[in-house]
Amino acid sequence: MEGPFGLATIVFALLGFPAGVSGSELTQRAGVQALKFGARLAVPAAAVELNSSPGHHEVRLSDGEVATGRSVIVATGARYRRLDVARLEEFEGGGVYYAATQAEAQLCEDCPVVIVGGGNSAGQAAVFLSDRASECRLLIRGDDVGKSMSRYLVDQIERKCAVEVCTYTEVVELGGERELESLTIADNRTGERTEVPARALFVFIGASPHTEWLQGQLAADPAGFLLTGRDVHGDHLAGYNGSHPLLLETSRPGVFAVGDVHSGSIKRVASAVGEGSMAVRLVHERLADPATAVSPQT
Ligand SMILES: Cc1cc2nc3c(=O)[nH]c(=O)nc-3n(C[C@H](O)[C@H](O)[C@H](O)COP(=O)(O)OP(=O)(O)OC[C@H]3O[C@@H](n4cnc5c(N)ncnc54)[C@H](O)[C@@H]3O)c2cc1C
């Protein structure tokens, strides 16, 4: 697991921080603010177990302490898979990206971009960025993008001649002085290397949520991200006795999930922060609702 300061070297592009802000600085400021509001911090201490009885939850910490409450907000984030290539960290936040939103698209307008990954996130990024970039390459390790991507995205990519799909291809080197300028890509069958221009490299090779400590107690999507609100279906609603989870509430009444750890989240700092504040409001709603006293099954 990443430590509480695991993102310390990453510089975030964030509203109000025109020059970006480092993970450690952001964490430090958040810590001061939390203390100001009367929060008790336990650092470093990992949550290792969640136990619930109706209307009461206990989170056991790695140092043996137990935090108790009538509600829990899970914000344990996710671990992004990164490429195993030299100088990656140097370019993260300045050429290597893990999301393709309007913000990143503006940074590489009319520039050559490369996207790595064969899943739907990579496909969506290719469709989105190909209208804005001067060149757009989609790199996959296998032979067929259709094996792991939804048909509608494959169709769109095939229709867009602006996307060049490079099969059996991997990134082996990043090039550039201060900013990313090029990539060396290699054919993983023959080893043949080619240098291609790239002002931005988008990496979509998967992420895994930090949910191992929950030991499967809460309903999750196939990748392990926690289901919340309307995404909680069927048997997973058992704990609600006919009612439904609130937005951001998991399959267990009173337990909420915000930020990267929840299924379908936007995976941005600002949205994680926004969800955190929404969850606090929803906690009050849950505590005021008699349905809180329902059983804690998933
Ligand atoms: C390389 C990179 C660059 C990025 N750049 C940007 C950017 O420029 N702008 C932007 O908006 N977004 C960016 N993102 C996305 C952004 O980092 C996330 O969307 C955001 O940090 C999610 O916040 P979170 O609170 O949900 O999770 P996190 O920020 O990941 O925080 C979760 C915390 O919980 C801790 N934790 C995990 N398990 C446990 C446990 N069992 N007990 C206790 N603690 C635990 C983790 O160590 C971590 O400190 C980037 C992501 C990456 C990987």
Q: What is the pLDDT of residues 66-92, one digit of tens each?
A: 999 999 999 999 998 999 999 999 998
Nearest CA to ligand 1 atom 5: 12
Q: What pLDDT was estimated at residue 119?
A: 92
Q: What is the pLDDT of residue 291?
A: 58
Predicted confidence (pLDDT) at residue 17 exceeds the cutoff of 90: no
Cα(76) to centroid(ligand 1), Å: 8
Is the CB of residue 5 below 6 angstroms from any atom belonging to ligand 1?
no
Cβ proximity of 160 and 135 under 8 Å: no
Distance 89 CA to ligand 1 centre (A): 16
Phi and psi at residue 208, to the nearest 5°: -125, 135
**How confident is the model at residue 283, as a pLDDT?**
96
- Position 59 scores a pLDDT of 97
Residue-level pLDDT at 62: 95
Tell me what pLDDT residue 4 has.
Answer: 38
Q: What is the pTM of this model?
A: 0.79
Interval between CA 244 and ligand 1 midpoint (Å): 28
Structure tokens at 262: 């929840």
Closest CA to 140 of 132, 151, 130, 149: 149
List, for residues 152-207, the tens digit of each pLDDT value: 999 999 987 789 999 999 999 999 998 999 999 999 999 999 999 999 999 999 88
Q: How far is it between the farthest Cα atoms of the chain?
A: 65
Residue 275: name the closest of 120, 127, 104, 73 by CA.
73
Cβ distance 134 to 110 under 8 Å?
Answer: yes
Taking Cα atoms as reference points, which of 97, 178, 153, 152 lies closest to residue 105? 97
